[in-house]
């Protein structure tokens, strides 16, 4: 299995740990932000791609009127199953779907939205072109991506700590994929290649990442993301040790018990 394939695997216990630890740690503030942006001029029909376990789906279901239909999709069926099981305040359509080849008609949505999923697309211009295809003329593509890893303190500390655990083959998932698509010019070029020629609006938004214990961010990243796959590929017996070492590094940097760190992302909006 290639690195790109491993980076997209959210299976086993990852969906549950992702929802329990990672969603409140880093995703909820940005889900509320995207939902509020959509609520300003509520689209009639919204497609969410790379929905994960549904943190943005739930935020949209709460912020948007019942007249706004929401269709939530993800490549990984276990993530969709987990999101559906959690549920939403009102009806949402859930589908397993690949953002690279969407099973929807042309011009069938007023908005396509994606929370921290674009970084996982193997061919970003092709994925953006698919979003453009299913958007109505004048519709909006709205998504966010993480800024560089140095601006996201917990992820940076975990990555550095794990380099000490596996010094000859450091796990680089967090830097490579979630934090690997932060160049605004590159994003603009990829959108233009996809035929989205309107000038994109890109806003950089900082927030705070908080947890009740210094161990929670370590579990979130080491066991609730595909970083776990990287660790286990090197030595499955060392997952607990790697998590503990990451937790200790967070404790040294931010203190033990309640921790608070910076996170930062780009919010991108472009008209079709």
Tell me the per-residue pLDDT of 22-49, one tens digit each, with 9 for 90 and over.
999 999 999 999 999 999 999 999 999 9
In total, how many domains does the chain have?
1
Which range of residues forms the domain containing residue 240?
A: 3-271
Comparing CA positions, the residue from 118, 115, 113 lying closest to residue 270 is 113
Six-digit token pair at 234?
């090197």
CB 222 within 8 A of CB 246: yes
Tally of residues, the chain: 272
- CATH label of the domain that carries residue 196: 3.40.50.150
Determine the Cα–Cα distance for residues 184 and 147; give it in Å rounded to an integer.
Answer: 9
For residues 18 and 52, the answer to whether their CB atoms sit within 8 Å is yes
**Two tokens, residue 129:** 């072109």
Lay out the sheet containing 201-211: strands in order across. Answer: 93-96, 69-74, 45-48, 109-115, 135-146, 259-271, 201-211
pLDDT digits (tens, 9 = 90+) for 138-164: 999 999 999 999 999 999 999 999 999
Instruction: Find out whether 265 and 205 touch, Cβ atoms under 8 Å.
Output: yes
Residue with tokens 């233009």: 192
pLDDT digits (tens, 9 = 90+) for 196-237: 999 999 999 999 999 999 999 999 999 999 999 999 999 999
pTM, two decimals, is 0.93
- For residues 149 and 159, the answer to whether their CB atoms sit within 8 Å is yes
pLDDT score of 8: 45
d(CA 81, CA 181): 27
For residue 56, count other CB atoms closer than 10 A to its CB: 30
Closest CA to 70 of 101, 78, 84, 81: 84
Mean pLDDT of 60-71: 97
Q: Tens of pLDDT along 185-200?
A: 999 999 999 999 999 9
Mean pLDDT of the 119-129 span: 97
């Amino acid at each position: 299995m290639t690195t790109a394939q491993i980076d997209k695997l959210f299976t086993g216990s990852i969906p549950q740990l992702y929802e329990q630890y990672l969603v409140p740690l880093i995703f909820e503030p940005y889900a509320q932000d995207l939902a509020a942006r959509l609520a300003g001029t509520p689209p009639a029909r919204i497609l969410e791609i790379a929905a994960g376990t549904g943190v943005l789906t739930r935020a949209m279901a709460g912020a948007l009127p019942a007249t706004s239909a929401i269709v939530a999709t993800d490549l990984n069926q276990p993530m969709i199953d987990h999101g559906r099981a959690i549920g939403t305040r009102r009806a949402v359509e859930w589908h397993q779907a690949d953002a690279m080849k969407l099973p929807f008609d042309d011009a069938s949505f007023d908005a396509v939205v994606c929370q921290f999923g674009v970084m996982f697309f193997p061919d970003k211009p092709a994925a953006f072109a698919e979003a453009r295809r299913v958007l109505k003329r004048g519709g909006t593509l709205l998504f966010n991506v993480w800024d560089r890893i140095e601006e996201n303190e917990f992820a940076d500390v975990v990555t550095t700590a794990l380099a000490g655990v596996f010094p000859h083959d450091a796990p680089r998932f967090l830097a490579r994929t979630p934090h690997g698509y932060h160049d605004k010019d590159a994003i603009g070029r990829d959108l233009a290649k996809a035929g989205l020629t309107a000038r994109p609006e890109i806003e950089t938004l900082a927030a705070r990442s908080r947890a009740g214990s210094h161990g929670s961010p370590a579990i979130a990243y080491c066991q609730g993301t595909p970083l776990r796959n990287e660790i286990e590929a090197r030595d499955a017996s060392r997952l607990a040790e790697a998590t503990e070492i990451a937790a200790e590094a967070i404790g040294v940097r931010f203190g033990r018990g309640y921790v608070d760190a910076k996170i930062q992302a780009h919010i991108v909006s472009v008209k079709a």
